Structure 1
């Protein structure tokens, strides 16, 4: 932040609750934060090739449900990123 002339005071603290049943999928989504696919039109979605590995790391038991939850988070993130 300092490299851009910013301090912690420049940011408002926002607390976001994550429901316990979504927590495993949230951890995977958060871990995939550097795995966005991009092209000429910008960000297009997550690289799903890394998801099985991340699900193993986070010991996700119900991968089908986690994938569904991750896709909802991905779709919401894309809407925010592409908002004009």
Structure 2
């Protein structure tokens, strides 16, 4: 797991802290399929030089078929909301890490 976190520029200590702060959450029934599909797609990220850029949608579509999701368009839209949230959390974590290590660029 540490290698996975490092691949996205996230320190294990930051991930542990986040897990301790938010150990459990409720899922509204309307979002259940999207959460199941997102969790089933959690290893299917496209990555670039700056880390993850988004989910691999053909893989997400495959997971939706395996879960026999009936409304794929609505479920994909809900998965994309989760995806954007995760990318934002990861971006902020990378930014905090960069700023705390003294490697941030100064702007004019």
TM-score by length of 2: 0.65
- Which residue does 1:4 correspond to in 2? none
Aligned ranges for residues 34-73 of structure 1 at < 5 Å? 34-73=43-82
Large movers: runs of 4+ above 4 Å = none
Instruction: Figure out how many residues of one structure are paired with residues of the other and give that number.
Output: 76
**Residue 31, structure 1, aligned to residue 12, structure 2:** no
CA RMSD, 1 decimal: 1.8
- Which residue does 2:29 correspond to in 1? 20
Once residues 77 and 28 of structure 1 are traced to their aligned partners in structure 2, the CA distance between those partners, rounded to angstroms, is 14
Point out the structure with the larger helix share.
2
Deviation for aligned residue 1:59:
1.3
Once residues 44 and 61 of structure 2 are traced to their aligned partners in structure 1, the CA distance between those partners, rounded to angstroms, is 13
The gaps in structure 1 that reach 5 residues or longer are 2-9
Once residues 55 and 71 of structure 1 are traced to their aligned partners in structure 2, the CA distance between those partners, rounded to angstroms, is 13
Larger Rg over CA atoms = 2
The gaps in structure 2 that reach 5 residues or longer are 2-16, 96-108
